Chain A
Amino acid sequence: MILTKEEQEMLEGKKGPGMQRAMDLLVKLCKAHDVEKTVKASYGHAPYDFVPEDFWELITEGVEPVMKVTTHPSYQPEFWIEWGIAGKNVDKIMVEHQKKLKKIRQLRWLRTDTCAEYLLGIIPRKGEIVPMHGSCMQIANNSLYGARVDRAGAFCTLASCITGRVPLMGLMLPENRYAHILFQVEGLNITNWTSAHYSCLGYYIGSKVTGQKNVAVTGLPNDLPFDFARALVLPMPASGAVTLCHIVGTTPEAPSQEVAFGGKEPEQILKIGKKEMRDTWERLNMHKDSIVEHVAFGCPHSTIDEIGEIAAMLEGNKLKVPLLIGASIPVESLARVQGYADTIERSGGHFLSCCPSISNPFVRADFAGKNRVKRVAVDSARASHYLAGVAGADTFFGTREECIKAAISGRWEGGKYEG
């Protein structure tokens, strides 16, 4: 393996023990995959609350920052206490959380605490190398912006954020970025589709892909609105292992099917029609009765437009069940300036810059203790997947409007797939 002088110094411990451990991890990964060298990243996106405390301390020990690093959603346990929903573990979680925040300030990392930092203007250029934690960040930056983001384990991403280096492998290499499998959307009336519909479509696509394959989607209008394009690609790494999806006519590496496939024929062509959509919509509804105890939006973190729509629907209504909106603090601040946050909070809604699916404080048994709720309505396929799989909840999947109605009535009246 070829190491630069600086990388060699990192590996020998001349830049401190944390840097040494991080470089050692990357070098071993390179050796396991016959990778010759690492490349420099522009900036990175790191996990923190999710990282075991002892590993966190080892890998950040004595580290001086080498590049800009942003952070993935936090747990924000201080709000669980404020809202009276915290279980007995909260004190322990709080101590660890505070310690990590102190370290993040020392490292001068940006506490974006979001899974959608492109909404804050932190956007990669096409071809820019940006190691990212979280499959949601990986697929969004890869697909929607054409950045180079590989599928990587959380600790290796953390090591890349610390060293500023990424193994030159996988999706870092242009020749590995072409699509392998083609999905053709046919015979669907998409005129009235909402982001829930695109989310359902993406969930189906991810579930049909085994192994690490890139996909392309045709049959959708050109220049799909950002919110729809995002809703489409985000569920793919939850139901499968897709890290790059080209939406032909929309995403930067897919001006045409031919370009998306690098001039080659697809390895496989799959068609998607009403039956696939209906079945997937039904599969995302994993509930026994129609009682809803909680509504969660913001998987991925909500845009200001989504929050505006939610506020408009909630105006003058009182919620029967708690509603959580996962959003970054800057987007929440804008919602406050606009008056949306007031409307939502007056109805009984909450904002949190956590992951509303995997670390939802209303649903996770180890966070909420005996206060936990078990029946959750969502408008995101990714949310339904993780709330059921990781948090063991019953999930209701439907449009944003159906979720708002459920938050007001406490009952699910959502329909089947139409369109």
Chain B
Amino acid sequence: MKVNACTVCEGKAEGEAVVCNGSFSFLGDLNPSTGEISIPGHKLEGKSVADKVLIFTYGKGSSGGPRIAWLAKRNGMAPSAMICLESEPVMSCSVIAANIPTVHKPEKNIFNLINAGDYVRVDATAGIIEIIKKNSS
């Protein structure tokens, strides 16, 4: 299944989906040394997003986000690609500087279409999300 979206940062990448049904900030929510989600008490706490496709609702958080995105990418601990409902300037700056292929404003509700563990291909340059369901062959 394919869903159109808008480009935030160009590039192509793929991986297993990690679905965070809430807003996300690199600063505070991600440990750039381990690639693990670090939100205390969050259901994804301790889950690694390294080389996975991270799906979340909106960008948030302080202006320091790009530093963490950059360090995570340098450490090989950044998501391979990211999808969100709507990016904001700090999130956009983070993914563009760290060069993480990212799309936002998907045409369909991705939270209904993508479950954790599905395989997702993101062509952020063309603005296409391809979903390969976990159970399909």
A residues lining the B interface (CB < 8 Å): 25, 28-29, 31-33, 50-52, 54-55, 133-135, 138, 150-157, 169-170, 211-212, 237-238, 241, 389
Chain B residues contacting A52 (CB-CB under 8 Å) are: 67, 70-71, 74
Closest to B92 in A: A32
Contacts of B90 in A (CB 8 A): 151-153
Task: Tell me the bound Cα distance from A151 to B6 in angstroms.
Answer: 21
**A28 to chain B: which residues have CB within 8 Å?**
9-10, 96
Q: Complex formed: what's the CA distance from A237 to B64 in Å?
A: 12
Binding site for A on B (CB under 8 A): 6-10, 28, 58, 60-67, 70-71, 74, 87-94, 96-97, 104
Q: Is the CB of B66 within 8 A of A153?
A: yes
Q: Write 6 A-B pairs (CB below 8 A) sorted by A numbering.
A: A28-B96, A29-B89, A31-B7, A152-B90, A155-B97, A237-B62
User: What are the residues of chain B within 8 A of A31 when measuring CB–CB?
Assistant: 7
Per the bound structure, the CA–CA distance linking A134 and B65 in Å amounts to 11
Q: How far is the CB of B95 from chain A (nearest CB, A)?
A: 9
B63 and A211 contacting across the interface, CB-CB below 8 Å: no
Q: How far is the CA of A39 from the CA of B77 in the complex (A)?
A: 35
**Bound CA span A169–B90, Å:** 13
Chain A binding site: helix, strand, loop or mixed by DSSP? helix
* Interface Cβ pair total, 8 Å cutoff: 82
Say whether, besides A55-B70, A153-B93, A153-B97, A138 and B63 are in contact (CB < 8 Å): yes
Chain B contacts for A154, CB-based, 8 A: 63-67, 93
B67 proximity list for chain A (CB < 8 A) = 50-52, 154-155
Chain A residues with Cβ below 8 Å from B62 are 135, 237-238
CA distance A237 to B25 in the complex (A): 14
Query: Do B89 and A170 touch across chains, with their CB atoms under 8 A apart?
Result: yes
CB distance from B60 to the nearest CB of A (A): 6
Q: Are A155 and B66 in contact (CB under 8 A)?
A: yes
Docked Cα-Cα span, A54 to B67, in Å, equals 11
Contact, CB under 8 Å: B60 / A241: yes
B89-A153 in contact (CB<8A): yes
Q: Which chain B residues border A25 with CB–CB below 8 Å?
A: 93, 96-97
Are the CB atoms of B96 and A32 closer together than 8 Å?
yes
A241 to B92, CA, bound (A): 16
Of chain B, the residue at the smallest CB distance from A137 is: B63
Residues of chain A within 8 A (CB-CB) of B60 are: 241
Report the Cα distance A25→B95, complex, angstroms: 10
> What is the minimal beta-carbon distance from B40 to any residue of chain A, in angstroms?
10
With A and B bound together, what is the CA distance between A361 and B107 in angstroms?
Answer: 48
Contact for B63 among A33, A54, A135, A170, CB less than 8 A:
A135
